[in-house]
């Protein structure tokens, strides 16, 4: 199906709501039935009927259909946060005594789920260098039930060869799950490469306006049904109808926003790569990136997120750059309209906490929808001050 069809029309049965162009927010917790027979049918298959909004809601359902089609998946569930989606995907594929192979630097709270939470339930894990399929293979044990990938990750952008990982996992009967937040469905579709489950922090590009926290989980109908009946309904981490409507609005411009952030970020990364006060730029689609060839083969674009190392001897020089930089908001997260800076120096000198293991001169930038030249002139001034 054409991307334009998905973003503008799919799932929108306008004859159900006065031919309204923009779908209504069905802000109702439950739904009434006209006959006992229909009521019974709804109980028989809650995933496909509107019974209660913790299960299914018409506004949320429109969003689910669009996201499934975007990821070329059979079905999709949405959650109240990316972590709720990730936790559901992981919990659905482990039980006491099983083992998870995970890439070395996944999203921080995913790491916490494996290291601090799941051991309470007898679930073990190993971290493997995802840049090499062999190292993932070496980490597999007889009780491995899930391989968890994130390609690229959101700070240093290591990739995994998704098709090769999927093939390896399939030959061992292991489920694969990929966090695809970095590329968004516009630039990468892991299910096409043989991956079983795709998760997103929809908080980032999918909603795209820094006003909703949202999680996405895409997979086969059977896997989605299994997760619906267990993690989704029992843990209850749903998205509200109002937030679903905001995300549907966000999707209208997903392709445009991705293209804009992608081309601006590329121009800014190239500018920084040529700057004497920059030691190195990390951007998967720059030829200097160690996995450039794989990135070119596997991704259709990179979006707005990349990092660089300042050329500096003392943390105070990085602090000057950060404090002087205009137009970029000092903030976590990414994927909205606004450009952001997340310097590793922010994870130094935190009262009561050890310093980060990342070097203090590593700076992550997110390039939003502003004019690239306007952002470059701000970077130019701040680098001048270093
Ligand atoms: C933000 C983020 C998450 C977590 O998503 P939330 O919506 O904040 O729960 C997961 N993975 C990646 C790569 C992220 O950037």
- 160-166 average pLDDT score: 98
Structure tokens belonging to residue 131: 């840049």
Ligand 1: residue whose CA is nearest its atom 5: 82
Distance 148 CA to ligand 1 centre (A): 14
pLDDT digits (tens, 9 = 90+) for 34-60: 999 999 999 999 999 999 999 999 999
Q: Cα–Cα distances in Å, from 100 out to 197, 224, 235?
A: 14, 20, 21
Label residue 158 by pLDDT band (50, 70, 90): very high
What's the whole-number mean pLDDT along residues 144-165? Answer: 98
Where does residue 37 rank: exposed (0-12), middle (13-18), buried (19+ CB within 10 A)?
Answer: exposed
| Closest protein CA for atom 1 of ligand 1 | 201
Domains parsed from the chain with CATH numbers: 3-251 (3.40.640.10), 254-384 (3.90.1150.10)
Q: How far is CA 68 from CA 143, 181, 220, 228, 350, in A?
A: 30, 14, 10, 15, 41
What is the pLDDT of the chain when averaged over all its residues?
98
Q: What is the average per-residue pLDDT within 240-247?
A: 98
233/236 Cα distance (integer angstroms): 5
Residue-wise pLDDT for 302-328, tens only, equals: 999 999 999 999 999 999 999 999 999
d(CA 78, CA 216): 5
Most informative mutation of 89, 109, 151 for ligand 1 (most atoms within 8 A of CB): 109
The response to whether residue 366 sits with its C-beta less than 6 Å from ligand 1 reads no
Residues 181-198: what's their mean pLDDT?
98
Question: Which of 89, 201, 336 for mutating ligand 1's site (highest number of atoms within 8 Å of CB)?
Answer: 201
Which residue puts its alpha carbon closest to atom 3 of ligand 1? 201
């Amino acid at each position: 199906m054409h991307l334009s069809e998905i973003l503008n029309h799919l799932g929108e049965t306008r004859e159900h709501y006065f031919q309204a162009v923009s779908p209504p927010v069905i802000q109702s917790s439950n739904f009434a039935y006209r006959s006992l027979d229909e009521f019974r049918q709804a109980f028989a298959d809650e995933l496909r009927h509107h019974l209660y909004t913790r299960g299914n809601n018409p506004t949320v359902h429109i969003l689910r259909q669009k996201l499934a089609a975007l990821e070329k998946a059979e079905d999709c569930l949405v959650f109240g946060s990316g972590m709720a989606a990730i936790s559901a995907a992981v919990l659905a594929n482990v039980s006491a005594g099983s083992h998870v192979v995970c890439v070395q630097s996944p999203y921080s709270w995913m790491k916490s789920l494996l290291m601090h939470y799941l051991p309470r339930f007898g679930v073990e894990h190993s971290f493997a260098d995802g840049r090499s399929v062999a190292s993932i293979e070496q980490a597999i044990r007889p009780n491995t039930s899930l391989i968890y990938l994130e390609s690229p990750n959101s700070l240093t952008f290591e990739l995994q060869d998704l098709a090769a990982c999927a093939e390896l996992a399939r030959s061992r009967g292991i489920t694969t799950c990929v966090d695809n937040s970095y590329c968004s469905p516009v630039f990468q579709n892991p299910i096409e490469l043989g991956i079983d489950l795709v998760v997103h922090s929809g908080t980032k590009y999918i909603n795209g306006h820094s006003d909703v926290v949202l999680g996405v989980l895409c997979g086969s109908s059977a896997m989605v049904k299994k997760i619906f009946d267990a993690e989704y309904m029992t843990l209850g981490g749903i998205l509200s109808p109002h937030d679903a409507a905001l995300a549907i609005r966000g999707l209208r411009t997903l392709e445009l926003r991705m293209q804009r952030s992608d081309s601006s970020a590329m121009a800014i990364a190239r500018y920084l790569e040529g700057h004497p006060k920059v030691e190195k730029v990390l951007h998967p689609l720059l030829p200097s990136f160690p996995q450039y060839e794989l990135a070119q083969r596997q991704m259709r674009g990179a979006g707005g997120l990349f990092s660089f190392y300042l050329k500096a001897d003392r943390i105070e020089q990085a602090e000057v750059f950060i404090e002087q930089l205009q137009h970029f908001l000092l903030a976590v997260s990414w994927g909205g309209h606004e450009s952001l800076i997340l310097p590793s120096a922010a994870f130094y000198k935190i009262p009561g906490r050890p310093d980060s293991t990342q070097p203090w001169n590593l700076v992550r930038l997110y390039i939003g929808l502003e004019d690239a030249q306007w952002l470059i002139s701000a970077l130019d001034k701040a680098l001048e001050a270093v």
